[in-house]
Structure 1
Amino acid sequence: MIIPSFDFLEGKVVRLYQGNYLNKTFYNIDLYQHLRNLKEKGVKIVHLVDLNGAKKIEDRQFRLFQNIILSTNMRIQIGGGIRTENDINMLFDLGCARVVIGSSAIKNKFEVRRWLKVYGSDKIVLALDVNVINNKKKISINGWVKETNYTLEDTIDFFSSESLTHVLCTDISKDGTLSGPNIMLYKEIVKKFKHIKFQASGGVSNLFDVVALKKSGVDSIIIGRSLLEKRFTIEEALKCWQNVS
């Protein structure tokens, strides 16, 4: 599945380079018309990120997301600064289809594991962002500022006891770079964790990357910058994904 992605800073669509708030590009698009076009083309779900909320919980952009959800009946998954059960309930009350949990999956892992049980595994996506060094997939949190001693594999094992289903895995070195995804990473984790529906994120720059990721076995691809900069169209991406056996 192709999942278009939009990051928001102060209500505007933006892309960060490797998560750096100081290295950002704003995109002047008619968001609501853009979303309507995506739905008409056959997109089933869209990924939204609250960069303000990720940095400071008091600056969450709930009103923006409420307006987006009300303007389309497309399924929406939202991440960025989700730290409490109240945060989750607020997003579900807005009509969000899935919530994306990042740093809390490491800092508050027992509570997050309980959320999987309470809300169901199809409602929660774990966003696990990794630095791959000597094939060790170390997870980073807090907007990628802090590297932890937790590995991707150990973290998935921990949450799999509550039927974890969706994992959004990003190779930090690739995010926002258009340098191509880490295909070997996805091949390895798909092979190891057959029960997980992986969402690949980071580095997609052309349709060859879409083909390679489909062949890696991931369930979905998060695509942001490439679509925003019209390196290929959503129609081309969807057709490419469907045609790879």
Structure 2
Amino acid sequence: MKNFEIIPSVWLINGKCVRLKRGDFSTEEVISHNPLEIAQAFESVGIKRIHLVDLDGARRGEPKNYHILEAITGYTDLSVDFTGGVTTDGDVIKCFENGAKTVTISSAAVNHPERLAQFILSYGREKIILAADTNPTDNKVQIRGWLKKTQVDLFEHIEFFYDRGLKYVKVSDVTRDGVMEGPNLDLYKRILDKFPSISLRASGGIRGIDDFRALRDLGVDTVLFGRAYFEGKITLEDIRKFKSEG
């Protein structure tokens, strides 16, 4: 069995941790004014990696919360996957300079596909992750913090980069994100059937530890979770026990 990883997703607006429902910025709730403290709590139960989402960057098209990235990488041993407005080669370099281990790219992959293909070549397939988030009613990719719907088909989009060496893809069902209605297992199965050697990161809908197990059994490599933890449906002790399952 593949090594299965659970990764907390920490969303930032103006340097604060927030949560949204279905990516709708009007539903913003501030969870914490101290993202570093949240990251340290995850590290204390054996989490090795977090997904840091710069929502300001996603909206504006360039990262804005480098200082939070730098603080977390400076005061923890966590590997940070950074996303949100990463568009240019300069953005990628600055993410790595501020301590990111990987970057996840969404909007630029749609707007400048050849550029992302070049990033995979330049930085290596272990460093660059494609985010392909979609509403499964039409399988069209949504970008800019899901504010913009495109006419790009999810499966064609993944295939373009898969053919150019892509190893990691994060896929969110945007209708389930932040509402804890369960992950879209059917969508993830279709992706794994079509791209059997892809390393899939599933995001959206997580309600509890049983959803982790269902995704692991399906063949998903990694699951991202957020709201279920911040609402107490998944506790630090739950995470510790799940990780001890091996």
Whether TM-score is above 0.5 comes out as yes
User: When the two structures are aligned, how many residues end up with a matched partner?
Assistant: 242
The gaps in structure 1 that reach 5 residues or longer are none
Alignment of 1:230 with 2:232, yes or no, is: yes
Question: In angstroms, what is the RMSD of aligned CA positions?
Answer: 1.8
CA distance in 1, matches of 2:149, 2:115: 21
With 82-91 and 147-156 compared, the bigger mean Cα shift is at 147-156
1:4 corresponds to: 8
2:151 corresponds to: 149
CA distance in 2, matches of 1:144, 1:33: 27
Aligned partner of 1:33 among 37, 43, 62: 37
Identity of aligned pairs, percent? 33
What is the CA-CA distance between 1:150 and the residue it aligns to?
A: 1.6
CA distance in 2, matches of 1:217, 1:62: 33
Aligned pairs (5 A) from 1:1-245: 1-28=5-32, 30-57=34-61, 60-133=64-137, 136-237=138-239, 239-240=241-242, 243=245
What is the CA-CA distance between 1:58 and the residue it aligns to?
A: 6.2
Conserved 8 A contact 1:214-1:241: no
The list of structure 1 runs, each at least 4 consecutive aligned residues, that deviate by more than 6 angstroms after superposition, is: none
Conserved 8 A contact 2:140-2:150: yes
CA distance in 1, matches of 2:8, 2:76: 14
CA distance in 2, matches of 1:52, 1:43: 25
With 54-63 and 194-203 compared, the bigger mean Cα shift is at 54-63
Conserved 8 A contact 1:210-1:237: no
CA distance in 2, matches of 1:38, 1:160: 32
What is the CA-CA distance between 1:243 and the residue it aligns to?
A: 3.9
Amino acid of the structure 2 residue aligned with 1:141: I
TM-score w.r.t. length of structure 1: 0.93
Conserved 8 A contact 2:62-2:91: no
The gaps in structure 2 that reach 5 residues or longer are none
TM-score w.r.t. length of structure 2: 0.92
